[in-house]
Structure 1
Amino acid sequence: MKRSVVRAFLVGVAFVFVYYIILALRGMYLTNNYVPDIINSYDSVDYLQQKVAFGIAIEPVRMVLEVSGLLLFGMAIYFVVRKLRRRAN
């Protein structure tokens, strides 16, 4: 039982890492393919100034919920796949 919990935890950690790698790659893609629009640029700047005061606003509660949710999701996937494999045999 202890070994399966550790494996499930590792699968959950892998889900978290893959999720953040995908976010980083998506951000890099969006940064590289950004095309500025001079006509509508003021609207986007005005919108951003109202949403974020300075820099990146990291909410600790949101981060904890996001990471723990991904971790639990990965662990649940591990146990579901394990149970389905047992039924197949």
Structure 2
Amino acid sequence: MKTIRPSIEALQLRYSRDLMRKKMLEGHRAERPEILNAPRTPDNAVSWLPHPPRTVAECMWISDQITEEIEQWKNNYPRTFSSGS
């Protein structure tokens, strides 16, 4: 079976775009050096357990943890969670 490969033009275009993006980011970082040391936003896909939940009790525990975190956020940022303006 014949493999499907991108054309040379498509590869050249992608390479050119990668180079331009890299150059743009370097210029942006040079203008604002404080973003190099800025704290990274943590990944949103961190598991609650080292394995997928296997029981209803584990699902309930995760739900309780989420509820606790929401309550902490409500206490720390009440304006964000208020229904009024």
More helix by share: 1
- Quickly name the TM-score band, shorter chain normalised: 0.3 to 0.5
Compute the TM-score of the two structures, normalised by the length of structure 2.
Answer: 0.35
Larger Rg: 2
